[in-house]
Structure 1
Amino acid sequence: MPLPRLTLTPDASHGPLDGAWWPRCDALELELPALVGALDPGLGTVTRVTVDTAAWPDAPRTVLAPGHVIEVALSDVDAEAHAITLDCGTVGRWELLVVPPGEPADAATWLLTTASDPWNALTAPHMLALAEANRENGADPGSV
């Protein structure tokens, strides 16, 4: 797989998100190893991820990553919709917006940029709702 389309918040995040990830397909077992491999080793080893049941209905319970196995937990909590939580043991956890694979490039670019802004206060579901509303209204995604 090519390198993941990923943006991370520089330094510390002040919002609900630590960045965004735009997978190319909805097969978590194909996409997750590239995402994990692209993360800075200083962030720790990803041991578990939590994903939205609606976005990843066929997600396996474990995914093989280079050198280790990642446990996959499914969640149907609305606050976690359209997000992936990466647990890195004692190092910490990161919450990323998951941009839907079929999202148009202009909206995806806005979502990636906004989610990685350390001062962004929007949740993943709210950001995707704004991008969808702009698309329906024919507005520029950046005008949110």
Structure 2
Amino acid sequence: MTVPSRPASSVRLRLGEYSGASGSARPLDGAWWPRSYDLTAELPGLLAALPHRWGHITSVLVNGGMWSLSGDGMLIDDQWVHARGTDSARAGHTVCLLSPGQGRWDLLVVPPAATDAEAERLMDTATGGSGTDPAQS
């Protein structure tokens, strides 16, 4: 079964100005504010909202203690995406996205229960205050 994508315009995502630039000193490429910790429900919308230059994301690594995962991945828009959970402290509140031949991107995950003000502050911090909404690019 293919998981349908949420419209990119409804995804709360902000990318840093130099997101995905090789050699970037900034440890995060952006911030994502999902509506829940259900990866099956949230991941399709996130992937649909990412810039095309990031390529096809084939693997996702999340904090296994925070996200609900079923199986080792899911079919999104007719393409398999591997999903793994880790209990590593390094994973923390981030999601790691991998695209073979394109790169790796790390996004801060803003807690779904965050208020608008908290989410705005966290997203600004993650993007250095210069973030862009990919749906508006």
Instruction: Give the TM interval when normalised to the shorter protein.
Output: 0.7 to 0.9
In the other structure, the counterpart of 2:69 is: 59
In the other structure, the counterpart of 1:87 is: 98
Q: TM-score with structure 1 length normalisation?
A: 0.76
1:63, distance to aligned residue in structure 2 (A):
2.1
Question: Separation in 2 of the partners of 1:118 and 1:87?
Answer: 24
- Asked if residue 5 in structure 1 is aligned to residue 12 in structure 2, the reply is yes
Q: Secondary structure at the match of 2:90?
A: helix
Identity of aligned residues (%): 37
1:118, distance to aligned residue in structure 2 (A):
8.1
1:84, distance to aligned residue in structure 2 (A):
0.3
- Asked if residue 14 in structure 1 is aligned to residue 14 in structure 2, the reply is no
User: Are the aligned partners of 1:29 and 1:64 in contact in 2 as well (CA < 8 Å)?
Assistant: no
2:43 to 32, 39, 48: 32
In the other structure, the counterpart of 1:135 is: none
| 1:2-30 CA distance string (max 9 Å, x none) | 52100111123422111110001111101
- The runs of 5 or more residues in structure 2 that have no matched partner are 1-5, 131-137
User: Are the aligned partners of 1:37 and 1:66 in contact in 2 as well (CA < 8 Å)?
Assistant: no
User: Are the aligned partners of 1:19 and 1:112 in contact in 2 as well (CA < 8 Å)?
Assistant: yes
Which of 1 and 2 has greater Rg? 1
In the other structure, the counterpart of 1:97 is: 108
- The number of residues matched between the two structures is 118
Instruction: Report the AA paired with residue 81 of structure 2.
Output: I
Two-structure CA RMSD over aligned residues (Å): 1.7
Q: Secondary structure at the match of 2:85?
A: strand
> Which structure has greater helix proportion?
1
In the other structure, the counterpart of 1:71 is: 82
Question: Separation in 2 of the partners of 1:49 and 1:22?
Answer: 16
1:34, distance to aligned residue in structure 2 (A):
0.5
| 1:81-117 CA distance string (max 9 Å, x none) | 1110000111001000111111111011111111112
In the other structure, the counterpart of 1:23 is: 34
| 1:35-54 CA distance string (max 9 Å, x none) | 00011111110000000011
Q: Using a 3 Å threshold, how does the CA distance of structure 1 residues 25 and 105 change in structure 2: closer, same or farther? A: same
Question: Separation in 2 of the partners of 1:29 and 1:43?
Answer: 21
- The runs of 5 or more residues in structure 1 that have no matched partner are 120-144
